[in-house]
Amino acid sequence: MPVEFVGQSVTLSANSTGEIKLSFQRDAEIIQLIFNSTGRVAITNIELVGKNRYITGEIELDMLKENGGNVYTLPEPIKYEKGTDILVTFRDLSGAENKVYFGVVMRY
């Protein structure tokens, strides 16, 4: 099955929050989260807007790394419907300005 990568970045001020909103123009399944940051960051929300939330509390990005890489393979794909916004909210933990890169791998 073909896959596609969709991603974006956001710059967080010290101890602040920020968000990334992604959208995709076909029905698909989200199979992996991909990420990187220039400092310590937590994810406080991942949701398909108006449908489902996938985080309770917060998860530090480093906790999601598999095999030393900046990727997390979902145990079950998340079904995605064309045009739905994927909203991801981050909180800076480093106490300094921080750039966060986040994306998803989608299979259709």
pLDDT 10s digits, 9-48: 999 999 999 999 999 889 999 999 999 999 999 999 999 9
With a pLDDT cut of 70, the percent of the chain lying above it is 99
Q: Which of 105, 106, 91 is nearest to 41 (CA)?
A: 91
With bands split at pLDDT 50, 70 and 90, how would you rate the model's confidence at 76?
very high
Q: What is the pLDDT of residue 4?
A: 87
CATH classification of the domain holding 16: 2.60.120.230
Q: What is the pLDDT of residue 36?
A: 94
Q: What is the pLDDT of residue 59?
A: 94
- Asked if pLDDT for residue 68 goes beyond 90, the answer is no
Please, which residues bridge with residue 6 across strands?
A: 104
For residue 98, what are the contacts with CB-CB under 8 A and spacing of at least 6? 11, 12, 14, 37, 38, 39, 40, 41, 92
Q: Look at the block and give the residue holding tokens 């974006």.
A: 8
| Domain residue limits at 53 | 3-32+39-107
Counting the structural domains of the chain, the total is 1
CB-hemisphere CA count at 13 Å for 107?
A: 12
Distance between CA atoms of 103 and 108, rounded to whole angstroms? 16
Q: What is the pLDDT of residue 2?
A: 82
